[in-house]
Amino acid sequence: MYEIIFLDEAGQESRDTATSKENFDWKMSALRIAGTTIVRSGKVNDTDRISPDDIGNDIHDFLHGGDK
């Protein structure tokens, strides 16, 4: 997976992802043509991401009072 972190119109960091190198290159070209400030881009390590199971567990804990 590839990720692009850029500044949006309000100057806040936004991110976009691409699953293929071709899609990543196309998105990078479009952002450059638009004059967007790119903060960071490239291939990402999926192990650094929160898994959907972790998010679901956090939501479950929140709804049911967390750790007691």
Entry pTM: 0.60
Mean pLDDT taken over the chain: 79
Check residue 68 and give its pLDDT.
46
Q: Three-state secondary structure along 27-51?
A: HHHHHHHCCCCEEEEEECCHHHCCC
DSSP 8-state assignment for residue 1: -
Q: pLDDT, tens digit, for every residue of 4-33?
A: 999 988 889 999 999 899 999 999 999 999
Asked if pLDDT for residue 52 goes beyond 60, the answer is: no
CA distance 46 to 30: 25
CA distance 4 to 24: 8
Q: pLDDT, tens digit, for every residue of 28-50?
A: 999 999 999 999 898 887 555 55
Percent of the chain with pLDDT over 90: 40
